[in-house]
Structure 1
Amino acid sequence: MQTRKPTDQAQLPQALAARNDGIALDLAWVRSVQANTSSIERRVATLPGRRSVKKQYQAAWLCRAISCIDLTTLAGDDTAGRVRRLCAKARQPVRADLLGALGMEGLHVGAVCVYHDMVDTAVEALAGSGIPVAAVSTGFPAGLSPFALRLAEIEASVAMGAAEIDIVISRRHVLTGNWGALYDEMAAFRAACGPAHVKAILATGELGSLRNVARASLVCMMAGADFIKTSTGKEPVNATLPVTLVMLRAIRDYYSQTGVKVGYKPAGGISKAKDVLIYLSLIKEELGDDWLDAALFRFGASSLLGDIERQLEHHVSGAYSAGWRHAMG
């Protein structure tokens, strides 16, 4: 099997952001982290009514959202044909006439995310596009396969050309407060990724509390995660605004202490354009404009792009089209 280097995919957005090399585990810092659930819920509850973006500004924000989508297929019945069609959609996420009317020719998604077995197909389909391939790894979604196999899976995906690796942490380390074990695990995953960027999936719906989410976020960043990600998309509860706020503030604290910018990726359950605008508003308020870019922000999504395309068509034509006219592949 021919191997490829992640750097063979030119113009990666991540090249604009420095890698997170991590720091030594600081248990005093980790244990000092708290989360006031009622305050967090009140904060995010104000967003839908307080932040409204209309007309050309809404269209611009939705185009920015498209550039930050990790277009994803993680189904048991994935085929090479489905992945190729998804990659074609990644290259041309919105109809050419609509992009021309918006002045957004050349717009494409942030990455295509697939299982390890489909990495080679995706890399071939995206050749020359500048769109990186992300592979889910480490026994996704449960993360319970033998540790040596999880490391080998990362290395194999990178060898096949994956420029980004979405790993899943062992939830038991968080639930038992074994922060040293979580740090060591994440650091080993980071080392196995080599030049590929690593996104740490926390599976926040299975961590028990917002405090655990905050502490797990911090430990993964200390161990070198380039992104922290909410969910696999397979848990009963995936990305939510309270979890997002907690993780964004962990990123902000880490940046304040280290000067290193870590990215954020909400995934699972984000399927409507109106929800995207709320997430972008929260990112802008909590972290600033630097994070409104594919180098530091991604949406993990499959059906989201179709709804965004419908909203953009409405902006251009004044009429909504049927959902079936905007298939994902």
Structure 2
Amino acid sequence: MPRIPTAAAGPPASLADVTASDGALRRFLHGLPGVDPVGLEARAAALGTRSIKTTAKAYALDLAVSMIDLTTLEGADTPGKVRSLCAKARTPDPTDRTTPQVAAVCVYPDLAATAAGALAGSGVRVASVATAFPSGRAALEVKLADTRAALAAGADEIDMVIDRGAFLAGRYLEVYEQIRAVREAAGTARLKVIFETGELSTYDNIRRASWLGMLAGADFIKTSTGKVGVNATPANTLVLLEAVRDYRAATGVQVGVKPAGGIRTAKDAVKFLVLVNETAGDDWLDNRWFRFGASSLLNDLLMQRQKLRTGRYSGPDYVTVD
């Protein structure tokens, strides 16, 4: 599979001045339009009520399957568990070979080589978390070593996490420079920048983090690690979608979005796809530009596909347990 071009390691020329100094970056980020929390949440809720007809639902289910970064990020992960997950990624439903493959399998760096071996020749990508995931609190040299180790082991994509402490303290240029350094270390691998939106306190901060990540060269901006109490929600994902839409309008550069954590049902996944279509547009309805970070979501999507195909709801015993 040909590599997808990565974002530039830095802002487009039209926005180069905003990262020239800490003060310039602060003025730019704090000059972004404020988010109306009530309006944002009302819009996210309203879009979640859209009904999807049978033909469109079948398309949406397949699209959602193809957008999954099938993920295991537990301290107890083993090579056997990762190989099992990779087999499911390659053939999600052995009883129906029309089922799409997932987009990627996401693992810790020490298991990236296992995933790369199990996925060789399949077209399913290997994503690896890095940069002191999930806290993001480590020296830059450690974060870069973490990234390089994942790439050396066979990762095609890097999911890095920002230092929320630095961001919340207003050290925006420090966060920007760390993302840029990881972007450069990642080379041709796609870079997903995780904000941990549940810890950023306000929608305004989520919007600022989104622009900061894109200015620094993120290929994707990602809501969360899945390791905190509040992960992906329709409202915080809507902020990211508005940001990538506005960034492309301003620069011509398209950036992807990845909500992660807490998306467990096909019904929820379809709601997120409606958000994408109605906010960013159908250019983002492709796994090059939208992903779900999930583990259990795939099982519910497979059960819903079986229901559409056979007219019967098979139940969880008919899909593999991750």
Corresponding position: 1:36 with 2:29: no
Q: Is the 8 A contact 1:20 1:262 kept in 2?
A: no
Q: Distance in 2 between matches of 1:55 and 1:252?
A: 29
Q: Is the 8 A contact 1:143 1:170 kept in 2?
A: yes
Q: Is the 8 A contact 1:302 1:328 kept in 2?
A: no
- For structure 2, which runs of at least 5 residues remain unmatched after alignment? none
Partner of 1:45: 45
Corresponding position: 1:59 with 2:58: yes
Q: Is the 8 A contact 2:6 2:190 kept in 1?
A: no
Partner residue of 1:242 out of 235, 257, 263: 235
Q: Distance in 1 between matches of 2:8 and 2:279?
A: 20
Q: How do residues 180-195 of structure 1 correspond to structure 2 at under 5 angstroms? A: 180-195=173-188
Corresponding position: 1:142 with 2:135: yes
Q: Is the 8 A contact 2:225 2:260 kept in 1?
A: yes
The alignment's C-alpha RMSD in Å is 1.4
Partner of 2:90: 91
Corresponding position: 1:305 with 2:298: yes
Q: Distance in 1 between matches of 2:233 and 2:155?
A: 28
SS in 2 for 1:224: coil
Q: Distance in 1 between matches of 2:65 and 2:290?
A: 11
Q: Is the 8 A contact 2:264 2:296 kept in 1?
A: yes
Q: CA deviation at 1:238?
A: 0.1
SS in 2 for 1:250: helix
Q: Structure 1-normalised TM-score? A: 0.91
Corresponding position: 1:19 with 2:7: yes
Q: Which amino acid in 2 is paired with 1:127?
A: A
Q: Which amino acid in 1 is paired with 2:47?
A: L
Q: CA deviation at 1:113?
A: 0.2
Partner of 2:107: 114
Partner of 1:280: 273
Q: Distance in 1 between matches of 2:321 and 2:83?
A: 11
SS in 2 for 1:321: coil
Q: Deviations over 1:77-106 (max 9, x none)?
A: 111111001000000112343x4xxxx36x
Q: CA deviation at 1:54?
A: 2.4
Q: CA deviation at 1:11?
A: 4.1
- For structure 1, which runs of at least 5 residues remain unmatched after alignment? 1-9
Q: CA deviation at 1:328?
A: 4.1
Q: Distance in 1 between matches of 2:2 and 2:215?
A: 27
Q: Which amino acid in 1 is paired with 2:182?
A: F
Q: Which amino acid in 2 is paired with 1:60?
A: Y
Partner of 1:75: 74
The 1:89–1:56 alpha-carbon spacing in structure 2 relative to 1, beyond 3 Å, is same
Q: Distance in 2 between matches of 1:92 and 1:146?
A: 39
Q: Deviations over 1:292-324 (max 9, x none)?
A: 101111000000000000001110111111212
Q: How do residues 147-296 of structure 1 correspond to structure 2 at under 5 angstroms? A: 147-296=140-289
Q: Is the 8 A contact 1:175 1:208 kept in 2?
A: no
Q: Deviations over 1:120-148 (max 9, x none)?
A: 00000000001110000011111112321
Q: Distance in 1 between matches of 2:277 and 2:9?
A: 25
SS in 2 for 1:243: helix
SS in 1 for 2:48: helix
Q: Distance in 2 between matches of 1:174 and 1:38?
A: 24
Highest RCO, 1 vs 2 (Cα 8 Å, sep ≥ 6): 1
SS in 1 for 2:228: coil
Q: Which amino acid in 2 is paired with 1:75?
A: E
SS in 2 for 1:46: helix
Bigger mean CA deviation after superposition, 267-276 or 171-180: 171-180
Q: CA deviation at 1:219?
A: 0.6
SS in 1 for 2:193: strand
